[in-house]
A and B are shown apart, each in its own frame.
Chain A
């Protein structure tokens, strides 16, 4: 991504805060300039204190008063500057994050599926923070740092050229030393992080599987290999920590040498009469504070680079094109009947690797369709297309004769209920989860749905019943219980089309048996797509779609399919050959 593009995108976020930002920079400048002037006034004040009986109190008082006013104004403006910058910074962070969620909730699933959740989270959370910290606070630091250096240099040259030259020429030495140590320690830090990640992975394994370790009395051998790994880490950590901690003493040493040189040159200048004692003090104070912004700036530059890299990652997400939004037209019926047809449909996840090449299905409203086939045959893909999670490449799909592009996604999805093998539940209470499709449902309706899904009895036994709060990923419940909740969630809405993708795979056979009755009731009069391994379900289907390598290779009823030499027949015989 081009630097200019990143900056212009950032500026768009900052536009709203531009007045605040300019004000902040003005305040920063004021604060820095006043801060530089304070030592000068103090030097002037010290010059009025010559010796016993030789103190010009009038002038002294004047200098001290201006210095005091400078100090106060500088402090107040630097405080205000921080407040303003914080405001801009946090507001921008919030704006970017809100834009990110707006985008994420609209992005096609093809984008989200091809990236890990962790990666997107780190963009929206860590990277955004880095941009705000690095760019805004870093920029402020950079700005004040440069101003301090320039201001100090100017004042030093105005006061005494020789000392100014000494400071200007020698101070970069400390930067050089710091850089030198940093480049040497870089390798050590890498070794340390390698050792650390080796150890973390050992810990993940041995502590994460502590139960197995104990079951096999492996504890002492585990400890041995841990100790060995830890020795290595300690060794690397010692080197990295020690060598990196040399930076401060070394730069301090260089600075104190510069200080000594200034004292020497300055004292000679005082003896030569070209400098006053007070000004020597001022120069020494400047020499002391001159090195500081350099160290800060060198840190800020890497931070700025890092921030730009982070910004590029965020904007890559935010610049991802969104599909066009479809308004719900008035000419759609209140709900679909459930006639579905696929004609010459082609689809692929990756452009050059065709998956579905020519799919033709025709389903009458209210019929029961079983999808059958080996793992990876494309069952999930078919669901992705029905729900319009993915767009077809060519061909036509119609619902009740209406072509898919004319049906808004929200309308379509309201008409389809789905229970997936992946039993995802939202954080929140069990009640919220069951009522996900109909937040306005009454308690009685929720309970009825839970009873129908055979979830009521275990929910009742939970300490907080329907108000039990589920952690992330429905933590605390077993896979089977989560699946029952997913079923209850659909039981509450009962749209005209149902998708059941191995909806009972985590439920033990006895409960599954019980729940079948509820499924029968649920499917009555509804178009249902069922991915299942139960023969009875498949046998009773009105239509069996046999899928292989992405395409429907056979379709028909159980009897028609069994009558020929079909792939279905071979699957069926393999499955029943006990």
Chain B
């Protein structure tokens, strides 16, 4: 949390001003009992009505001043809290942009979203309350003690004794109950989990006649929850009666001490009343303080979680002397030499994901040459996606060497590398906006002609043209106003809009019908100035590829043309045979 305070820069003055004005307000409030005491001791004792009226007016004046101070303080604290949180939020958002796939996988996007939303609200609330009230309450408590001291030294001892006891009681109850509340939350999560299971799995659970067992399990969980709730409820129920009891007993002690002092002529009746009023003020503020501390602990916990995200350093970054990808220079150099140099070259490459127990890819070696149209095939979990994601350096290889355009991937500037190597991911993701804004995602400077050309190639031009707004047709969040096949074609078009020399389609044709996919493949084959990698589960989708790479359990088990593989690669033979039996997705059966 402390490290987040750097975002306070520039607001420090206001951050100090807020509690300072709160302090002034508190002083105004603290002066009231003194005025009442003087009214009793002077005004009433001497029957001076004019004096009383003047003093009461003074009280009202103090009230007005207090209001003015408070409003100023509220403004500063709101301003500081909102601006401070806004800065953290924006910085965090930027920071998330720098994290690489590995970190995103380990943290999970759900967590990241919570950090940016819920946690930020808690922080804003916490900062606001801290500036506004955490300062005010101690001011009043300490101030009341100091004022009591000025009224009477001896009587102030009661205050000095009471405050630590109250503090201990309040903190003890909080310390005991906070972990208990966490347990309540865990138990509640278990109840929610069981409930969700019964809703999401209703067909399976009923098919297996699990209703009675589920009812029993749910009953057990609600029972545990009730137990925990009662435990923590019993502890926190002590807070109010205990503090009430302590303060009021202290008041009685105070009145008694006061009586002794008055009897001895050391104190006036008005002063005793002032002391009594100070004691009452303390109680009100202490209870507020206790509730606040709970809020603030929560905010600090959120702050720490946010800070921990800031502390994650991205594992894949551009090196210090990053060079941009120069595909033209690479093409020139290789044509001068007469022999084509591989545009992508895997040399004994292995990949192990963070926290994974075994390698995802092991000892892959192969070359891909400029202009080639290469298919990648293999079963579920064979490593196809992992393999192609290494080329734009979404992940770093664990072992071996990987070069793209003649240089190791690690030497390039990341943005430059990724605009030279475009991946169309498996899941077709569109963003809220328009068709145009989605197409311009990777290349904001493309012209309309270029957009239409890309739509033609990806077989999306027809349906986009049919939309009343054409390129400016709205796209809802996640592209939900388009069908799966349309979404997929738009994401493919998005990749075509860039001048990337390497295009990778990661099973991106799966939602297309047979004829459309065939047209797409034809368009891809014609892209001779680009190198294309086409990943698929089905052998049928890879007809027409110059070469096919076959993966099985993270190893490259085949590398050749369809015909070569049929005779040399048993895994490919099996896949081809299985695909041959299946009807292509294009069929309705």
Interface set, chain B 195-230, CB cutoff 8 A to A? 195-211, 214-215, 218-219, 222-223, 225-226, 229-230
Residue contact B201 to A426, C-beta cutoff 8 Å: yes
Q: How far is the CB of B395 from chain A (nearest CB, A)?
A: 11
Task: Tell whether A223 pairs with B93 under 8 Å between CB atoms, given A249-B70, A436-B210.
Answer: yes
> Whole-angstrom distance between the alpha carbons of A250 and B223 in the complex?
45
Q: How far is the CB of A177 from chain B (nearest CB, A)?
A: 11
Contacts of A205 in B (CB 8 A): 431-432, 477-478
Contacts of B425 in A (CB 8 A): 211-212, 215
- Complex: chain B residue closest to A93, CB-CB: B226
Residue contact A413 to B206, C-beta cutoff 8 Å: yes
Q: Is A18 an interface residue (CB 8 A)?
A: no
Residue contact A242 to B113, C-beta cutoff 8 Å: no
Interface set, chain A 194-215, CB cutoff 8 A to B? 196, 199-201, 203-215
- Complex: chain A residue closest to B378, CB-CB: A508
Partner-contacting stretch, out of A72-80, A342-350, A360-368: A72-80
Contacts of A513 in B (CB 8 A): 574, 577-578, 581
Task: Tell whether A75 pairs with B116 under 8 Å between CB atoms, given A97-B222, A424-B201, A578-B540.
Answer: no
Residue contact B380 to A507, C-beta cutoff 8 Å: yes
Dominant secondary structure of chain B at its interface with chain A = helix
Partner-contacting stretch, out of B144-152, B261-269, B324-332: B261-269
Residue contact B203 to A509, C-beta cutoff 8 Å: no
For A112, give its contact among B43, B202, B575 (CB under 8 Å): B202
Q: Is B583 an interface residue (CB 8 A)?
A: yes
- Complex: chain A residue closest to B73, CB-CB: A249
Contacts of B578 in A (CB 8 A): 509-510, 512-513
Interface set, chain A 80-105, CB cutoff 8 A to B? 82-83, 86-87, 90-91, 93-94, 97-98, 101-102, 104-105
Task: Tell whether A259 pairs with B32 under 8 Å between CB atoms, given A120-B199, A413-B207, A571-B587.
Answer: yes
Q: Is A405 an interface residue (CB 8 A)?
A: no
Q: Mark A26-56, 1 if CB is under 8 A from B, else 0.
A: 0000000001001000100110111111110
> Whole-angstrom distance between the alpha carbons of A397 and B318 in the complex?
68
Residue contact A242 to B59, C-beta cutoff 8 Å: no
Q: Is B104 an interface residue (CB 8 A)?
A: yes
Partner-contacting stretch, out of A280-288, A300-308, A443-451, A517-525: A280-288
Residue contact A101 to B128, C-beta cutoff 8 Å: no
Residue contact A94 to B226, C-beta cutoff 8 Å: yes
> Whole-angstrom distance between the alpha carbons of A76 and B248 in the complex?
14
For A210, give its contact among B63, B75, B109, B214 (CB under 8 Å): B109
Residue contact B273 to A277, C-beta cutoff 8 Å: yes
Q: Is A572 an interface residue (CB 8 A)?
A: yes
For A509, give its contact among B47, B49, B575 (CB under 8 Å): B575
Contacts of A389 in B (CB 8 A): 203, 206
For A52, give its contact among B193, B240, B262 (CB under 8 Å): B262
Q: How far is the CB of B206 from chain A (nearest CB, A)?
A: 7
Q: Is A372 an interface residue (CB 8 A)?
A: yes
> Whole-angstrom distance between the alpha carbons of A125 and B218 in the complex?
13
Contacts of B49 in A (CB 8 A): 268, 271
In the complex, which range does the number of interface residues on chain B fall in? 35 or more
Contacts of A64 in B (CB 8 A): 252, 255-256
Q: How far is the CB of B332 from chain A (nearest CB, A)?
A: 25
Q: Is A453 an interface residue (CB 8 A)?
A: no
Task: Tell whether A511 pairs with B379 under 8 Å between CB atoms, given A106-B211, A217-B419, A233-B86.
Answer: yes
Q: How far is the CB of A466 from chain B (nearest CB, A)?
A: 16
Task: Tell whether A53 pairs with B540 under 8 Å between CB atoms, given A71-B245, A125-B188, A413-B206.
Answer: no
Residue contact A105 to B198, C-beta cutoff 8 Å: yes
Q: Is B282 an interface residue (CB 8 A)?
A: no
- Complex: chain A residue closest to B414, CB-CB: A217
> Whole-angstrom distance between the alpha carbons of A506 and B97 in the complex?
32
Task: Tell whether A83 pairs with B237 under 8 Å between CB atoms, given A49-B258, A472-B193, A576-B587.
Answer: yes
Q: Is A117 an interface residue (CB 8 A)?
A: yes
Residue contact B219 to A101, C-beta cutoff 8 Å: yes
> Whole-angstrom distance between the alpha carbons of A219 and B104 in the complex?
14
In the complex, which range does the number of interface residues on chain A fall in? 35 or more
Residue contact B199 to A117, C-beta cutoff 8 Å: yes
Residue contact B208 to A49, C-beta cutoff 8 Å: no
Residue contact B248 to A101, C-beta cutoff 8 Å: no
Q: Is B579 an interface residue (CB 8 A)?
A: yes
> Whole-angstrom distance between the alpha carbons of A270 and B441 in the complex?
80
The interface centre, meaning the residue of B53, B223, B230 with most chain A CB atoms within 10 A of its CB, is: B230
Q: Is B365 an interface residue (CB 8 A)?
A: no
For B269, give its contact among A46, A253, A285 (CB under 8 Å): A46
Q: Is A237 an interface residue (CB 8 A)?
A: yes
Task: Tell whether A571 pairs with B589 under 8 Å between CB atoms, given A53-B265, A264-B56, A576-B583.
Answer: yes
Residue contact A277 to B116, C-beta cutoff 8 Å: no
- Complex: chain B residue closest to A72, CB-CB: B245
Residue contact B215 to A101, C-beta cutoff 8 Å: yes
> Whole-angstrom distance between the alpha carbons of A72 and B132 in the complex?
34
Partner-contacting stretch, out of A4-12, A153-161, A332-340, A529-537: A529-537
Residue contact B90 to A226, C-beta cutoff 8 Å: yes
Partner-contacting stretch, out of B76-84, B293-301, B445-453: B76-84
> Whole-angstrom distance between the alpha carbons of A46 and B37 in the complex?
13
> Whole-angstrom distance between the alpha carbons of A512 and B478 in the complex?
31
Contacts of B256 in A (CB 8 A): 60, 64
> Whole-angstrom distance between the alpha carbons of A49 and B265 in the complex?
11
Contacts of B71 in A (CB 8 A): 246, 249
Residue contact B429 to A230, C-beta cutoff 8 Å: no
The interface centre, meaning the residue of B208, B280, B394 with most chain A CB atoms within 10 A of its CB, is: B208
Q: Is B179 an interface residue (CB 8 A)?
A: no
Task: Tell whether A52 pairs with B265 under 8 Å between CB atoms, given A94-B223, A216-B442, A252-B66.
Answer: yes
Q: Mark B83-117, 1 if CB is under 8 A from A, else 0.
A: 10110011001101111110010000100110011
Q: Is A124 an interface residue (CB 8 A)?
A: yes
Residue contact A78 to B219, C-beta cutoff 8 Å: no
Q: Is A538 an interface residue (CB 8 A)?
A: yes
Partner-contacting stretch, out of A165-173, A351-359, A414-422: A414-422
Contacts of A285 in B (CB 8 A): 280
Q: Is B381 an interface residue (CB 8 A)?
A: yes
Contacts of A234 in B (CB 8 A): 82-83, 85-86
Interface set, chain A 304-336, CB cutoff 8 A to B? none
> Whole-angstrom distance between the alpha carbons of A120 and B380 in the complex?
35
For B81, give its contact among A71, A206, A241 (CB under 8 Å): A241
Residue contact B199 to A121, C-beta cutoff 8 Å: yes
Contacts of A284 in B (CB 8 A): 36, 277
Q: Is B488 an interface residue (CB 8 A)?
A: no
Q: Is B241 an interface residue (CB 8 A)?
A: yes
Residue contact A246 to B74, C-beta cutoff 8 Å: yes
Residue contact B234 to A508, C-beta cutoff 8 Å: no
Residue contact B589 to A46, C-beta cutoff 8 Å: no
Q: Is B514 an interface residue (CB 8 A)?
A: yes
> Whole-angstrom distance between the alpha carbons of A248 and B78 in the complex?
14
> Whole-angstrom distance between the alpha carbons of A459 and B261 in the complex?
83
Contacts of A180 in B (CB 8 A): none
Q: Is B39 an interface residue (CB 8 A)?
A: yes
Q: Is B52 an interface residue (CB 8 A)?
A: yes
For A51, give its contact among B79, B100, B262, B582 (CB under 8 Å): B262
Residue contact B477 to A38, C-beta cutoff 8 Å: no
Residue contact B104 to A210, C-beta cutoff 8 Å: yes
Q: How far is the CB of A456 from chain B (nearest CB, A)?
A: 15
User: Could you write out 21 A-B pairs with CB less than 8 Å apart?
Assistant: A35-B244, A49-B263, A54-B263, A55-B263, A82-B237, A104-B199, A112-B199, A124-B195, A203-B117, A210-B112, A220-B97, A230-B86, A238-B78, A256-B29, A263-B39, A263-B52, A267-B39, A277-B273, A506-B380, A508-B537, A534-B582
Nearest 7 Cβ contacts at the A-B interface: A575-B587, A52-B265, A219-B97, A249-B70, A82-B237, A86-B233, A75-B241
Q: Assuming A214-B101, A513-B577, what are 5 further A-B pairs, CB within 8 angstroms?
A: A203-B113, A271-B52, A281-B276, A509-B582, A533-B587
